[in-house]
Structure 1
C-alpha cells in the first residue's frame, strides 16, 4: 500500500501544478482548480505517517519536493524546444504549462513549509494521545499546515501585484475551502489507515510461511 500512496502523492503534486492555471468560481468566490487536488496530499501523508511512521512520511515529502523540481525543469525544457512548423499552439502550451518563476517559487516554498509542518504536528499529537484520536491529529495538522500553505503561497506569488484587500480575500477564500475538505476527508483517513494496518497484519502473518519454503 505504501508504494501506491507514494505514487498517489507525487501524482497529485504534479497534477496540482498543471491545474493551477485554471480558475473556477463557486458562489462568487474564485479558486484555482489545483485546490481540489492539492488538499488530498495532506490526507496521504497523514495516512502514511499513521501506518508507516514519521520517517516514511518525511521521506515522502522530500521525494515530492525533488519530483516537483525535476518536473518543472523538464517542462521548461519542453517549452524551450523549437516548435514544429505545423504546431500552432506554442503560446497556449507555454501559457498552460509554463507559469511564472515567481509562482513556481511560491509553490515550492509553501510546499516545504506546510508539508513538513503537517508531519511534525501530526506526530506530536500522536505522541501525546497515542493511537487514539486519529480524527484530532488528522484535522489539526491538516488545517494548520494548509493555513501556512495558503498564506505563504499567495503572499509570495501575488504580494505587490494585487491590492492587500484582494490578497487577504484570496487567502480567506482558499483556506475556507481547504478547511471544509479537511473535515470531509476524515472518514477516508480512517478507511485508508484500516486498510494499511490490515495489509501489514497480513504481511506479518504470511512471513513465517514464506520462510518455511526457503
Structure 2
C-alpha cells in the first residue's frame, strides 16, 4: 500500500501545481487558488504514512515529493521553451497555465518543504505520546499547524511587497480558514485509510 500512497501523494502535488492558476470564489467570503482543493489531501496521506509506516518512511515520501516537483519544473520549463509548431496556436495559453513566475514557484517549494516536514514531526511526537489512541488529535493538530505555516510562508514569499500588509494578512487568514475546516472534514479519510491498511497488512505494517 505504501507505493499507492506515495503515488497519490506525488500525483496530487503535481496536479496542485498545474491547477494553481485557476482562482475560484467561496461566495463573497474569499477567492482561492484551485490548488487548495488538491493540496489539502496531501496532509492526510502523509499522516497515514506516519501512523502506519513510521516517521522515516514519511520523510522519504516528502523528499520524493520535493524531488518530483523540481523535476517537473525543469521539464515544464523545457517544454515551454521548445519552438511551437506552426499549427499549434495555443503557446500563450500553454505558458500561462504551466509557466508560473519564479517567485511563486520558489514560495511553493519552500513552504512545501517546511510545512510537510513539520507535519511529520508534530504527528510523530503526538503518536509517541498517545500511542495508538487519539488519531484524530494528532491528525488535526499536525495538519492545522502545518497548513498555517504553509499558507503564511507561501503567501508572504509570493506576494510581499506587491500589496499592503493588511491585504497580505487577510489573504493568509481567508485561505487558512478554508484549510482549517478542510482538515476536519478529511479526518474520516485518515481513519478509513489507516483501517484498510492495517487490515490488509497487519501486523507487519503497524508501527507501534
Class of the TM-score when normalised by the shorter of the 2 chains: over 0.9
**Structure 2 unaligned blocks of 5 or more:** none
Q: How many Å separate the matches in 1 of 2:43 and 2:34? A: 17
1:187 matched to 2:191: no
Query: With structure 2 as the length reference, what TM-score do the two structures score?
Result: 0.96
Give, in angstroms, the shift of residue 201 of structure 1.
2.2
Max radius of gyration: which structure? Answer: 1
Query: With structure 1 as the length reference, what TM-score do the two structures score?
Result: 0.93
**Structure 1 unaligned blocks of 5 or more:** 205-214
Q: How many Å separate the matches in 2 of 1:169 and 1:25? A: 15
Q: How many Å separate the matches in 2 of 1:202 and 1:80? A: 51
Number of aligned residue pairs: 204
Q: How many Å separate the matches in 1 of 2:188 and 2:87? A: 50
Greater RCO (CA < 8 Å, at least 6 residues apart): 2
SS in 2 for 1:131: coil
Give, in angstroms, the shift of residue 202 of structure 1.
7.6
Structure 1 residues 173-210: Cα deviation after superposition (integer angstroms, max 9, x where no partner): 11000000100111111110011111112878xxxxxx
Q: How many Å separate the matches in 2 of 1:45 and 1:82? A: 39
1:114-125 counterparts in 2 under 5 A? 114-125=115-126
1:93 matched to 2:113: no
1:146 matched to 2:144: no
Structure 1 residues 85-105: Cα deviation after superposition (integer angstroms, max 9, x where no partner): 111111110011000000000
In proportion to residue count, which structure has more helix? 1
Give, in angstroms, the shift of residue 169 of structure 1.
1.0
**Which aligned segments of 4 or more residues in structure 1 are displaced greater than 3 angstroms?**
none
